[in-house]
Amino acid sequence: MKKLTLFILTMIITFSITGFNRGASENLHVETQYIRVGLKYGSKAVNASQVYTKGIITYGVYNGDNFIPLYKGKEGEQAVIKKDDYYHIVIAGFGGDLDKGLSYIDELRKKNVDGFLMYDEGGYSVVTGEYMSQEDANNALNSLKNIILDRKLTVVNPAKAIYIITSQKISVRTDRLIVRPSNNFIEIDNDTTYRGELWFVRQDGSDMTVINYLPLEQYLYSVVPSEMPSSWPMEALKAQAVAARSYAVANLGANSKYAKYGFDVSNDVSSQAYNGYIYTYNGNKYSGESSRTNEAVDDTKGIVLIYNGKVIDALYFSHSGGYTENSEDVFKYAEPYYRSVNDPYSLGYNPDLDNWSVTYTQAELKDMLKKKGIDVGDILDIKITDKSSSGRATSVIISGTKNNYTLQGETNIRMSLGLKSAMIKSIAKAGEKTVNRVVTVTDGRMTIAKDIESLYAIKGDWSTSKVSGNLFVISKFGLGQLNDAVNEPQNQSIPESFTFVGSGSGHGVGMSQYGARGLAEKAGKSFIDILKYYYKDITVFDTTANKSL
């Protein structure tokens, strides 16, 4: 067996791994920033993952900003990273001497004892067993005493720990394991390759959160082509790069809505789309970067958008439908740089976004609404009751057989109704069928439902007549009105489907990506012109040269 030696040299990192606190423009050093991207977290956290690189992986932990290497794999070696929630029996401790620990594992094999490494603040130990309870571990310890006579055996309780499983197995008692490739490229689960490091983080009451930690500028190499086609005009790509960089910087560290998970941004459109260096789609591998978008990132290195000395989050979206939106009409907060603008530049590229139409059946709409916790029964009508100045719906009432429900806000309307945008031009019903009113009668054992149109009453002389007007029922509680046939309609028309017609795609706040294309391609505008068109009264600031552009 080739023995591995413990690194005795720790690398001092000059940047803070906890994030970046945005501040005045003169204090920014964006080009040296690193970013933490959440890949798997919350309900998508993992019990185990496989990692691979063509180079060599070093596994370690951070002590403050210092990286402490613990174990070095072999070149091209795959590894499984898995959470460890077991009791173990500690056989022997070796402090910082990894080689002695590995040699002792070989000795244990001769005694048919399967030992493996454990690392904690006290250094390396050799342990054995995976036990679900203290009792099981104690029973195994008592049996092991008859085999290992020269060591004091102890049981170690479960803690936040993570396994590294290669040709060796090591349990690292840490809540954050660092996986660092020698060539800066790391693949996870035979699926996606990322630049930088992977972090596996133990969260309370959860599986492992997986985080990609890498330089901000390299992160943008993947974000820009993930968000905008690399074939689009270079000035549009540069505008996208600056907007994406500004969004990332504004969400670093404590500013992030994901701070509780230990990262800055997610890898999807909840933050910004981020496909990594190589990604898998339908079983095929694709490049997550392109030379043109890398050029756009490099040419705008360190450039961000500033308002009142702060980096703004520079929101953007796909297609404006002709007008962008004021921030308060979507997100309920007013920012002076997010003002609605006339945007003809978005139009003329994508007919499916210039003017779109989508039809949902009654069943499809009911299912979508129920997933949002909304149940109005059969949907009778959907009406827009309020719009913003740009024409986006801000209030929609859904009338149903059970009750009515009002959707408030652009995002809620768009997501609840499954629409590309809230710029709804019309809502049409089709295939309406008449359903008569129904009354139900129960004797405690069974319930009978009757169409009111087929309901008859027996008179005192045993003759019958069709019911009309107000209906009453006699029960042990006395006389009560069953329903009000005068004030309620005699029947209801239930549409079979609803067709929505509208324009645009996305929330509408900030920069329209199709508009950026149009400004560059049709109007010949620079990336600075594009950014100043969509973000009002901002400063385009070069943090590398420390000057406004």
Tell me the CATH number at 176.
3.30.70.1070
Q: Which residue has the tokens 């086609």?
A: 229
Whether residue 271 is found in the same domain as residue 406: no
Q: Would 530 be classed as within a structural domain?
A: yes
Top-confidence range, 28-37, 139-148, 431-440: 139-148
Report if residue 421 sits inside a domain.
yes
Average pLDDT over residues 507-518: 98
**261 near 203, Cβ under 8 Å?**
yes
Domain membership flag for residue 205: yes
Query: What mean pLDDT do residues 189-213 have?
Result: 93
**Nearest residue to 230 (alpha-carbon basis) of 285, 182, 166, 289:** 289
Q: What is the pLDDT of residue 431?
A: 86
The pLDDT of residue 26 is above 50: no
pLDDT at 511 over 80: yes
Neighbouring C-beta atoms of residue 254, cutoff 10 Å: 11
For the ranges 33-42, 327-336, 421-430, 491-500, which has the lowest average pLDDT? 491-500
Task: Give the residue, 24 or 364, on which the prediction is more confident.
Answer: 364
Distance CA 498, CA 427 (A): 7
187-203 average pLDDT score:
95
Q: What is the CB-side half-sphere exposure of residue 205 using CA atoms within 13 A? A: 2
Q: Are residues 407 and 480 in the same domain?
A: no
Comparing C-alpha atoms, which of 22, 19, 31, 39 is closest to residue 297? 31
103-155 residue pLDDT tens: 999 999 999 999 999 999 889 999 999 999 999 999 999 999 999 988 999 99
pLDDT value at residue 332: 82
By mean pLDDT, which of 5-19, 112-126, 316-330 is the weakest? 5-19
| H-run or E-run covering 519 | helix 513-521
Q: Nearest 5 degrees, angle CA 170-CA 171-CA 177? A: 100
Strands 393-400 and 404-408: antiparallel
Task: Tell whether 116 is covered by a domain.
Answer: yes
> d(Cα 515, Cα 346) in Å, to the nearest integer?
4
Which pLDDT score, from 0 to 100, does residue 441 have? 56
Across 329-352, average pLDDT? 95
Q: Is residue 16 part of a domain?
A: no
Question: Nearest to residue 511, comparing CAs of 247, 277, 299?
Answer: 247
**CA distance linking residue 374 with residue 355, whole number of Å:** 28
Across 11-26, average pLDDT:
40
SS (H, E, C) 211-267: EEEEEHHHHHHHHHHHHCCCCCCHHHHHHHHHHHHHHHHHCCHHHCCCHHHCCCEEC
Domain region containing 458: 438-485
> Do 69 and 133 belong to one domain?
yes
Residues 195 and 54 in one domain: yes
- DSSP code at position 13: P
> With 80 as the cut, is the pLDDT of residue 8 above it?
no
> Cα(41)–Cα(38) distance, rounded to whole angstroms?
7
Q: What is the pLDDT of residue 238?
A: 98
Q: How much of the chain, in percent, has pLDDT values that exceed 90?
A: 78
Classify residue 19: in a domain, yes or no: no
Count how many domains the chain has: 4
Q: How far apart are CA 449 and CA 435, in angstroms?
A: 13
CA angle 388, 393, 397 (to 5 degrees): 130
- 416 and 367 Cβ atoms separated by less than 8 Å: no
Q: Is pLDDT at 338 greater than 70 in this prediction?
A: yes
d(CA 368, CA 362): 10
Q: Which of 41, 18, 44 is nearest to 203 (CA)?
A: 41
Is residue 362 in a domain?
yes
Q: What is the DSSP letter of 132?
A: S
**CA 311, CA 515: separation in Å to the nearest integer?**
22
Q: In the predicted model, what is the mean pLDDT of residues 7-22?
A: 36
What pLDDT, on a 0 to 100 scale, did the predictor assign at position 206? 78
**Within this chain, do residues 135 and 207 fall inside the same structural domain, yes or no?**
yes
Task: Give domain status of residue 167, yes or no.
Answer: yes
Measured distance CA(228)–CA(239) in Å, rounded? 10
The tokens describing 280, both together, are 């898998």
Q: Is 504 helix (H, G, I), strand (E, B) or coil?
A: coil
Which 3 state secondary structure label does DSSP give 50? strand
Burial class (CB in 10 A: 0-12, 13-18, 19+), 447: exposed
Same domain, 306 and 399: no
Domain boundary among 170, 198, 213: 213
pLDDT of res. 336: 97
Contact 242, 531 (CB under 8 A): yes
Ramachandran bin of 504, using left for φ above 0, alpha for ψ from -120 to 50, beta for the remaining angles: left
Per-residue pLDDT at 25: 46
Task: Say whether pLDDT at 354 is over 50.
Answer: yes
Amino acid at 92: A
Q: State how far the alpha carbon of 521 is from the alpha carbons of 290, 345, 348, 511, in Å.
A: 20, 9, 12, 16
pLDDT tens digits, one per residue of 265-307:
999 999 999 999 999 998 899 999 999 999 999 999 999 999 9
Q: Which residues pair with 92 in a beta bridge?
A: 126
In this prediction, residue 30 carries a pLDDT of: 81
Q: Higher-confidence residue: 329 or 12? A: 329
What digits encode the pLDDT tens for the residues 68-105?
999 999 999 999 999 999 999 999 999 999 999 999 99
pLDDT at 445 over 70: no
Contact 490, 466 (CB under 8 A): no
Query: Do residues 233 and 296 share a domain?
Result: yes
pTM for this prediction: 0.83
Based on the fold, state whether residues 51 and 181 are members of the same structural domain. Answer: yes
φ, ψ for residue 507, nearest 5 deg: -75, -25
Query: What is the mean predicted confidence (pLDDT) over 395-407?
Result: 94
Neighbours of 184 (CB within 10 A): 16
Backbone angles phi, psi at 500, to 5 degrees: -105, 135
Tell whether 270 and 366 lie within a shared domain. Answer: no
> What pLDDT shows up at residue 1?
37
Give the mean pLDDT of the chain. Answer: 88
pLDDT score of 453 more than 80: no
At 18 the pLDDT is 43
Strand pairing report for 310-311 and 547-548: unpaired
CA distances from 29 to 130, 237, 314, 545 (A): 47, 22, 18, 10
Residues 199 and 232 in one domain: no
Q: Check whether residue 102 and residue 128 sit in a common domain.
A: yes
- Distance of alpha carbon 392 from alpha carbon 228, whole angstroms: 24
Better pLDDT: 226 or 443: 226
Let me know whether 82 and 202 are in one domain: yes
